[in-house]
Chain A
Amino acid sequence: MINSKYFFQGFSCIKKMDSPAIALGTCFIAIGSLLKNLGFSIQESIFSTLLTYALPGSLVMAESLLVGASLINIFLAVWLVNARLYPMTVSLMPLLMHESQPKWKYYLSCHFIAVSAWLIMKSNHEAVEKKNRIDFWIGIGTATWTVAIIGTIIGFLASDYLNKDMMIGLAIVNPVYFSCMMLGAMKTIQISLSIILGAILGPLFFFISPEWSILFGGFIAGTIAFFVGELNVK
């Protein structure tokens, strides 16, 4: 069903030098602590990370609950902030799909698509034959998912001992980790330009529409980078 050799090879990525374990762990410690302060039980906090496994979405849910938003508002706000997962999935799955593998693996393992696991898979996929990439991916996803759940539990339990400064310190780890990972990914003109323009246009569009800034900024930046890259190749 799942090739254990490639599963554990993927799982062990969590121990490597570019491992997201620290960044992911600290972020979910902050989330666990935040959820406890919002009145979540430990079961609800674990349930939230287990089912959602996307940090910005969990933050939006927490903030929406705080202001008493309706379920429809929560759905729309989370969908908007997590819509970035769509292009991430479309740009990863063709690298993993193989006719010999059952489709359920793709539909279930897409739950693991989050920035950390996605960046690891993008930079390691060439080292694994296409047929076995999905099992490798399930290994990476299971490892990062486990770290997120353990982080949530630690954050929930340590909530009373974490002061505001510590929480702020934990919250910066995620942007720092992803900024460094993105810098490491800048290997072609298209990707470099996508990252630079995205980082400029995302915050700029915030002045026009905070809710749509990531999607608008990302869409325009990515499209410009694509055409510049294509022209450059020609």
Chain B
Amino acid sequence: MSSSIVYAILVTSFATYLSRFLGVISAEKIKETSKWFRWFNCLAYSTLAALIARAIIFPAGVLSESDYLTRLIVIISSILIFHFTKRNLVYPTVFSAIILALLNNYFS
């Protein structure tokens, strides 16, 4: 193994575990019926929504090579499929992968 890659993996793992570890320590003092718990619950959902919205609108990695409008069309149609298939998660996920690959191939 290349030492620089191993160090990068170890640093990444430590930076990731730190937030989880500090979360467990903080959670020991918080009751599930408290206002603090409800506030953290809101923060968790809002941060996740922010992350997902950012990943769709300003993506990193390979997704940034696809067209913005195409991504938006695929996301909206997948959500509609999710809604009309009684909240089945398999159909929209499989559909999105196939359609975006095809559209990207067609328009590029």
How many A-B pairs have beta carbons closer than 8 Å: the answer is: 333
Contact A230 B35 (CB under 8 A): yes
| CA distance in complex: A164, B14 (Å) | 31
Partner of B50, one of A23, A40, A202: A202
Name the residue of chain B whose CB is nearest to the CB of A34. B61
Partner of B32, one of A94, A171, A230: A94
Contacts of B96 in A (CB 8 A): 169, 172-173, 176
Chain B proximity mask over A69-94: 1 for CB below 8 Å, otherwise 0: 00100111011001111111111111
| CA distance in complex: A226, B34 (Å) | 12
Q: Does A8 contact B (CB under 8 A)?
A: no
Contacts of A172 in B (CB 8 A): 63, 66, 71, 74-75, 96-97, 100
Give chain B's interface secondary structure class. helix
Contact A168 B100 (CB under 8 A): yes
Contact A52 B9 (CB under 8 A): yes
How close is A214's CB to chain B, nearest CB, in angstroms? 5
Contact A107 B40 (CB under 8 A): no
Residues of A within 8 A of B (CB-CB), count: 108
Name the residue of chain A whose CB is nearest to the CB of B37. A94
Partner of A89, one of B23, B35, B49: B23
Contacts of B99 in A (CB 8 A): 169
Partner of B27, one of A18, A43, A85, A94: A94
Q: Which among A40, A56, A194, A201 has the highest number of chain B CB atoms within 10 Å?
A: A194
Name the residue of chain A whose CB is nearest to the CB of B101. A169
Chain A proximity mask over B1-40: 1 for CB below 8 Å, otherwise 0: 1101111111111111111111110111011100101111
| CA distance in complex: A184, B99 (Å) | 23
Contact A198 B48 (CB under 8 A): yes
10 more A-B residue pairs beyond the given contacts A110-B21, A168-B65, A199-B50, with a C-beta to C-beta distance below 8 A: A79-B16, A84-B19, A84-B48, A106-B24, A164-B65, A169-B99, A178-B52, A182-B49, A182-B52, A202-B54
Please give the residue numbers on chain B whose beta carbons come within 8 Å of chain A beta carbons, in ascending order: 1-2, 4-24, 26-28, 30-32, 35, 37-63, 65-66, 71, 74-75, 78-79, 82-83, 87-90, 92-94, 96-102, 104-105, 108
Q: 21 A–B contact pairs at CB < 8 A? A: A22-B89, A41-B1, A41-B2, A44-B2, A51-B9, A58-B12, A74-B12, A78-B15, A86-B20, A88-B23, A90-B44, A107-B24, A110-B21, A118-B44, A164-B65, A168-B66, A168-B101, A169-B96, A214-B54, A218-B49, A225-B42
Pick the 8 closest A-B CB pairs, nearest first.
A89-B23, A202-B50, A218-B47, A169-B101, A198-B49, A198-B46, A93-B27, A222-B46
